[in-house]
Amino acid sequence: MLKEAKIKNIFPAKPTLEGAGVKLKRVFGFNEKEVVDPFLLLDHFGSDKPEDYQLGFPWHPHRGIETITYMINGEVKHEDSLGNKGTIKSGDIQWMTAGSGIIHQEMPQKYKGEMKGFQLWANLPKKDKMINPKYRDIQATQIPEVKISNAVTIKVIAGQINGVTGPVKDIIIRPLYFDVIIKPNGKFDFQLPMNQTSFIYVFEGEAQVGSKNAKTIAKENAALFDDGNDLKINATEKGSRFLLISGQPLKESIAWSGPIVMNTQAELDVAFKELRNNTFIKHK
């Protein structure tokens, strides 16, 4: 049975500094963690000024989460304690399972034009917090595009639409992650997964949500939906491009400090003690 999805919350992206001084926009984070479960954080990074991002994110730890980085434009070099090294480029995806613990660095490279990308943090269930860490890259050419109509094209990163499945398949919470592009005045209808946390983040143009009394979501705003599953979005004359993301809530306690997310304060205390004692890394 279809029930129209309506907007529950709107999150404007807010300027913040992270890493060694990278200027970015935080869409949601610590203060919204209960309502966006199983997600934790979404950052929109990018600028046409290299000095805004070149200091990057030097070596730092993670435990208890998975991160999904999606580059629209630009390049980011990475290296981690598992021995992985490489560069993700325009259109590429990188995802990392921190699990029991990983230390890595992500360093954006100078780019001619506007460097732009996103990093999403997905929580790990309690039973998987201490699994072996992993790291994977997906190239832009491996991400399928589905043309829904003459007005709508979707880059399928994770999940499935029209029989096409995205290449990001083994994230523990199994999210849906689409990059949706709608031409000016185009329409997009989609049946959201039931009983999941679903939201869009508009990063180009604007999107009108709903069939009656439609609400316009401006550029650099996220809209979190209620429990309805019938999503109706119209682009204005500006067109629209947005991330559509959905996942099953974990409904578990969250203990979060900086780059580490566990279930209890005691588990956090252990993690930071291990960092001080150089026993944080469990798998090499």
Cβ 222 vs Cβ 248: under 8 Å:
no
Asked whether residue 269 is assigned to any structural domain, the reply reads yes
Nearest in space to 135 (alpha carbons), one of 73, 93, 89, 90? 93
What does the mean pLDDT of the chain come to? 95
Asked whether residue 1 is assigned to any structural domain, the reply reads no
pLDDT of 30 reads 97
Number of structural domains, the chain?
1
Can you tell me the distance from the alpha carbon of 34 to that of 274, in angstroms, rounded to the nearest whole number? 27
Q: From residue 278, how far is each of 49, 65, 105 by CA, in Å? A: 37, 20, 17
Which sign does the torsion angle of CA 119, 196, 157, 178 carry?
negative
User: What one-character-per-residue DSSP string does 235-274 give?
Assistant: EEEEEEEEEEEEE-------EEETTEEESSHHHHHHHHHH
Structural tokens at position 53: 């991002």
pTM over 0.85: yes
C-alpha angle with apex 192: 186 to 198, nearest 5 degrees? 95
Asked whether residue 2 is assigned to any structural domain, the reply reads no
CATH number of 200's domain: 2.60.120.10
Cβ 250 vs Cβ 47: under 8 Å:
no
pLDDT of 280 reads 96
Asked whether residue 135 is assigned to any structural domain, the reply reads yes
Asked whether residue 186 is assigned to any structural domain, the reply reads yes
pLDDT of 283 reads 78
Residue 51, classed as helix, strand or coil, is: helix
Q: How, if at all, do strands 22-28 and 39-47 pair?
A: antiparallel
Cβ 93 vs Cβ 130: under 8 Å:
no
pLDDT of 1 reads 77
User: pLDDT of 25-38, one tens digit each?
Assistant: 999 999 999 999 99
pLDDT of 213 reads 84
Asked whether residue 283 is assigned to any structural domain, the reply reads no
User: pLDDT of 64-116, one tens digit each?
Assistant: 999 999 999 999 999 999 999 999 999 999 999 999 999 999 999 999 999 99
Strand partners, 108: 76
Amino acid present at 143: I
Instruction: Indicate if the pLDDT at residue 45 is higher than 80.
Output: yes
pLDDT of 212 reads 81
Instruction: Indicate if the pLDDT at residue 126 is higher than 90.
Output: yes
User: pLDDT of 147-181, one tens digit each?
Assistant: 999 999 999 999 999 999 999 988 999 999 999 99
pLDDT of 105 reads 96
- Cβ burial 245-283 (10 Å sphere, 16+ → b, else e): bbbbbbeeebbbeebbbbbeeebbebbeebbeeeebbee
Q: With bands split at pLDDT 50, 70 and 90, how would you rate the model's confidence at 199?
A: very high
Residues spanned by the domain of 53: 7-277
Asked whether residue 240 is assigned to any structural domain, the reply reads yes
Q: With bands split at pLDDT 50, 70 and 90, how would you rate the model's confidence at 211?
A: confident
Cβ 280 vs Cβ 268: under 8 Å:
no
Asked whether residue 31 is assigned to any structural domain, the reply reads yes
38 preceded by a cis bond (ω within 30 of 0): yes
User: pLDDT of 146-155, one tens digit each?
Assistant: 999 999 999 9
User: pLDDT of 224-280, one tens digit each?
Assistant: 999 999 999 999 999 999 999 999 999 999 999 999 999 999 999 999 999 999 999
C-alpha angle with apex 213: 234 to 205, nearest 5 degrees? 30
Kindly report the three-state secondary structure assignment for every residue of 140-196. HHHCCEEECCCCEEEEEEECEECCEECCCCCCCCCCEEEEEEECCCCEEEEECCCCC
